[in-house]
């Protein structure tokens, strides 16, 4: 069976697809790539459907060997790519032969790198998705991060014409991103000063961040009357503010419900930027209305569709 | 208190909103949340991609390219008017075998002391009533329940545990929960069930659902082991009835 062999997995490499839908209501998060845009472009580069499964690598990439000929593409965090020792481009598809070894080095900038392989990774879906949910031991390969010696099955290669991304849309992860936020659902539980703090000052990413949430540190966000609410659902990007006045942005593997006030929600199209901020780096929040957010979402999808001339196959 | 005259629609970013129907934890408000979710499913409300019920609100994910904010909130407002408990299908009652005390219910003795009753009485009282599942979440399959005899009301632990074994049956305040995966916890662990509330290897990994009723059955340590063995082999079918 066509496959890839993991020689070295890196600190946290997982199988991801666009995530599972419909399980939030029983407490299972969607999972999926932390930086959806980079993931999706990697798939398009090798002629895969957007929801084909690929690898998400954290800080340091894996070393993997191919059993047959494939197109591959690496996007996301700036991890140097080599094939049998020779440097290869990022954000562009290239071909690998049977027996060749691909290596993704440590990220010079950004946190999460993505590897797409033509045909996609063909581990069995769990609840309709191949995305790995680590805490729930669900999906991917036995619900866990990859290890040395793992062998991942691949789907039949589609043979689509591989592509490269227009240079202007390749993100620069060294710059401090500004991510857009819609206020709510509990913005009425914060003082004017607290809301102003969120948008005026930058916040620093801490090392306590993971696929569940980005814990940030900065200006204290002041509540009006305590931080506890009757537990309710937590949306992707929800900015929870706990007792110490510090924000936590909830991400792909978030808990489904929570009892802390949420001052606002980072828009879906900017979540990927949050996911690429390294501990010690900073980001800024910018306030937008729901209507503005929908306009930005429209523009974002257009940009994504323009980014790669679609595979001709 | 209780149900709002009009639902509140609270934005949750560009892809979701929260429909808040009331401002406290009570079964009437919650039943309406579940009824609203049920109606959205039944009518396959256009543009809604996913829903998530909790005590008093329903998180609704939508596709803004299919349905705009105004149109969606208008439809939801209309559905809220129809969302009465009577529209829901009959509830299930699920029997949860539970071994109280022993090495599994490792905080039964301490909780009993705090409550001021012998441990056996606490266990008997705890297993004497039906519980109502408001919603399932936080971790996969964890039910948020009330229905406990008043006598067992107890403040949460001063210091939450960092690890709670899955299956732990625990109480805090007026609530009861069953931990579904190993996780931190602030409730007093009275016992443990050999059933899996979350089983990632099963076709349907989740045992309990919002709106279910739960009845605990006291079992011995030996019966716990027997059932745990059957669960591991996949030969145990949990007892369920419909109201």
Q: Which helix (H) or strand (E) holds B36?
A: helix B27-42
Beta carbons of A235 and B68 less than 8 Å apart: no
3-class DSSP assignment, residue A271: helix
Give the angle A196-A200-A206 at the CA atoms, nearest 5°.
105
Residues in a beta bridge with A283: A203
Tens-place pLDDT, residues A257-303: 988 999 999 999 999 999 999 999 999 999 999 999 999 999 999 99
Per-residue pLDDT of chain B (243 residues; tens, 9 = 90+): 689 999 999 999 999 999 999 999 999 999 999 999 999 999 999 999 999 999 999 999 999 999 999 999 999 999 999 999 999 999 999 999 999 999 999 999 999 999 999 999 999 999 999 999 999 998 999 999 999 999 999 998 888 888 999 999 999 998 999 999 998 888 999 999 999 999 999 988 999 999 999 999 999 999 999 999 999 999 999 999 987
**Measuring CA to CA, how many Å separate B238 from each of A63, B15, B94, B180, B203?**
45, 37, 7, 16, 15
Beta carbons of B200 and A136 less than 8 Å apart: yes
- In angstroms, the separation between the Cα of residue B209 and the nearest Cα of chain A is 7
Give the angle B156-B161-B166 at the CA atoms, nearest 5°.
100
Beta carbons of B13 and A236 less than 8 Å apart: yes
Is the peptide bond preceding residue A185 cis, with omega within 30 degrees of 0? yes
Beta carbons of B13 and A186 less than 8 Å apart: no
- Show Cβ contacts of residue B152 under 8 Å, excluding neighbours closer than 6 positions: B115, B122, B125, B126, B171
pTM for the whole structure: 0.95
Q: Which residue of A has its CA nearest to B57?
A: A232
Select from B53, B51, B8, B61 the least CA-distant residue to B34. B53
Q: What token pair was written down for B55?
A: 């005590």
Which of A18, A232, A267, A296 to substitute to test the interface with B, most B CBs within 10 Å?
A: A232
Residues from chain A that touch B181, judged by Cβ atoms under 8 A, are 135-136
**Proportion of chain A above pLDDT 90, given as a percent:** 88
Q: Give the closest of B17, B55, B141 to A27, CB-based.
A: B141
Task: Answer for the pair B18, B54: CB distance below 8 angstroms, yes or no.
Answer: no
Beta carbons of A237 and B13 less than 8 Å apart: yes
Residues from chain B that touch A265, judged by Cβ atoms under 8 A, are 11-14, 16
Instruction: Return the sign of the alpha-carbon dihedral for residues B80, B82, B84, B89.
Output: negative
**Measuring CA to CA, how many Å separate A32 from each of A53, A108, A140, B100?**
9, 23, 10, 39
Select from A224, A202, A204 the least CA-distant residue to A279. A204
**Measuring CA to CA, how many Å separate A291 from each of A198, A262, A264, B75, B140?**
21, 20, 15, 18, 33
Residues from chain A that touch B51, judged by Cβ atoms under 8 A, are 25
């Amino acid at each position: 069976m066509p496959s890839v062999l993991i020689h070295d997995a890196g600190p946290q490499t997982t199988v991801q697809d666009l995530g599972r839908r419909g399980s939030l209501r029983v407490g299972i998060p969607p999972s999926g790539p932390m930086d959806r845009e980079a993931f999706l472009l990697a798939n398009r580069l090798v002629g895969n459907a957007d929801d084909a499964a690929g690898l998400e690598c954290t800080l340091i990439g894996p070393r993997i060997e191919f059993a047959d000929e494939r197109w591959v593409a690496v996007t996301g965090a700036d991890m140097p790519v080599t094939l049998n020792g020779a440097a290869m481009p990022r954000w562009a598809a290239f071909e690998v032969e049977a027996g060749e070894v691909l290596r993704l080095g440590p990220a010079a900038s950004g946190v999460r790198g993505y590897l797409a392989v033509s045909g996609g990774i063909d581990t069995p879906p769990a609840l309709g998705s191949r995305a790995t949910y680590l805490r729930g031991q669900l999906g991917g390969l036995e619900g866990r991060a990859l290890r040395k010696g793992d062998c991942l099955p691949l789907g039949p290669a589609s043979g689509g014409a591989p592509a490269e991304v227009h240079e202007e849309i390749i993100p620069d992860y060294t710059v401090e991103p500004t991510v857009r936020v819609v206020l709510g659902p509990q913005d009425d539980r914060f003082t004017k000063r607290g809301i102003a703090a969120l948008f005026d000052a930058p916040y620093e990413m801490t090392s306590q961040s993971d696929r569940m949430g980005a814990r940030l540190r900065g200006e204290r966000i002041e509540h009006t009357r305590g931080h506890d609410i009757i537990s309710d659902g937590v949306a992707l990007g929800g900015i929870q503010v706990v007792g110490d006045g510090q924000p936590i942005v909830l991400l792909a593997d978030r808990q489904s419900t929570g009892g802390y006030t949420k001052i606002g929600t980072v828009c879906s199209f900017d979540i990927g930027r949050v996911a690429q901020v390294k501990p010690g780096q900073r980001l800024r929040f910018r306030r937008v209305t729901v209507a503005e957010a929908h306009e930005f979402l429209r523009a974002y999808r257009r940009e994504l569709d323009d980014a790669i001339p679609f595979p001709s196959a | 208190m209780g149900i709002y005259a009009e639902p509140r629609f609270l934005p949750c970013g560009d892809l979701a909103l929260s429909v808040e129907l009331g401002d406290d934890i009570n079964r009437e408000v919650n039943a309406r949340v579940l009824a609203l979710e049920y109606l959205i499913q039944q009518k396959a409300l256009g543009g809604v991609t996913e829903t998530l019920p909790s005590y008093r609100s329903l998180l609704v994910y939508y596709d803004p390219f299919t349905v705009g904010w105004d149109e969606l909130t208008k439809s939801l407002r209309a559905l809220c008017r129809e969302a009465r408990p009577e529209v829901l299908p009959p509830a299930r009652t699920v029997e949860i075998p539970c071994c109280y005390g022993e090495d599994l219910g490792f905080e039964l003795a301490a909780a009993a002391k705090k409550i001021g009753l012998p441990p056996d009485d606490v266990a008997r009282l705890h297993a004497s009533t039906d519980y109502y599942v408001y919603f399932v979440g936080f971790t996969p399959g964890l039910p948020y329940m009330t229905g406990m005899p008043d006598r067992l009301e107890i403040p949460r632990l001063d210091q939450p545990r960092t690890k709670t074994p899955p299956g732990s049956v625990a109480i805090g305040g007026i609530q009861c929960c069953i931990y579904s995966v190993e996780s931190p916890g602030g409730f007093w662990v009275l016992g443990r069930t050999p059933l899996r509330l979350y089983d990632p290897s099963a076709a349907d990994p989740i045992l309990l659902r919002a709106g279910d009723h739960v009845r605990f059955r006291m079992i011995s340590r030996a019966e716990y082991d027997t059932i745990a063995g059957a669960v591991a082999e996949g030969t145990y079918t949990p007892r369920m009835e419909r109201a």
